[in-house]
């Protein structure tokens, strides 16, 4: 099965962002550098298996490669720093999410306790009358 479109320029951009050479990628994919170069140059289509392996080696999804969404390319000197900032951002977001979920759980527990207290009060008023 072959892909309908060619995504060589995106593959190349992701490869460069990761700091890999064509030779590195060819070795990782167990294909020749010439074949890999043809894929990046849109002279040869990557089949589905190759596209999956390329995405895995580049640390992206097939959708990242095949989507029409543009990618942001940072220069190589700042790329690793930017990657660290992105990872820190996601770690912070995950921590905030976990705190929010814990807070929600605490709020639910408090509300259940309040409901029970109100039920007890209503029940005690009913017994007096």
The number of C-alpha atoms within 13 Å of 29 and in the hemisphere containing its C-beta is 29
Residue with tokens 């294909």: 31
- Indicate yes or no: pTM above 0.85: no
- For residues 86 and 67, the model is more confident at 67
pLDDT at residue number 109: 96
The pLDDT, as a whole number, for residue 94 is: 84
Q: What pLDDT was estimated at residue 5?
A: 57
- Tokens encoding 61: 């999804």
Helix (H) or strand (E) run with residue 123 in it: helix 76-128
pLDDT digits (tens, 9 = 90+) for 28-60: 999 999 999 999 998 998 989 999 999 999 999
Give the residue-averaged pLDDT of 110-128.
Answer: 91
User: Does the pLDDT of residue 123 top 60, yes or no?
Assistant: yes
Question: How far is residue 34 from each of residues 10, 12, 16, 55, measured CA to CA in Å?
Answer: 18, 14, 17, 19
Burial class (CB in 10 A: 0-12, 13-18, 19+), 3: middle
Whether 74 has a pLDDT exceeding 70, the answer reads no
């Amino acid at each position: 099965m072959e892909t309908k479109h060619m995504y060589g320029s995106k593959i190349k951009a992701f490869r460069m962002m990761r700091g890999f050479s064509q030779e590195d990628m060819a070795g990782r994919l167990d294909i020749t550098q010439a074949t890999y170069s043809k894929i990046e140059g849109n002279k040869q289509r990557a089949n589905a298996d190759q596209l999956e392996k390329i995405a895995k080696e580049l640390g992206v999804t097939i959708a990242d490669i095949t989507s029409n969404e543009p990618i942001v390319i940072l220069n190589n000197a700042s790329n690793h720093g930017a990657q660290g900032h992105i990872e820190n951002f996601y770690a912070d977001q995950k921590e905030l999410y976990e705190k929010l979920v814990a807070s929600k759980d605490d709020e639910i527990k408090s509300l259940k306790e309040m409901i029970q207290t109100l039920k007890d009060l209503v029940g005690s008023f009913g017994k007096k009358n």
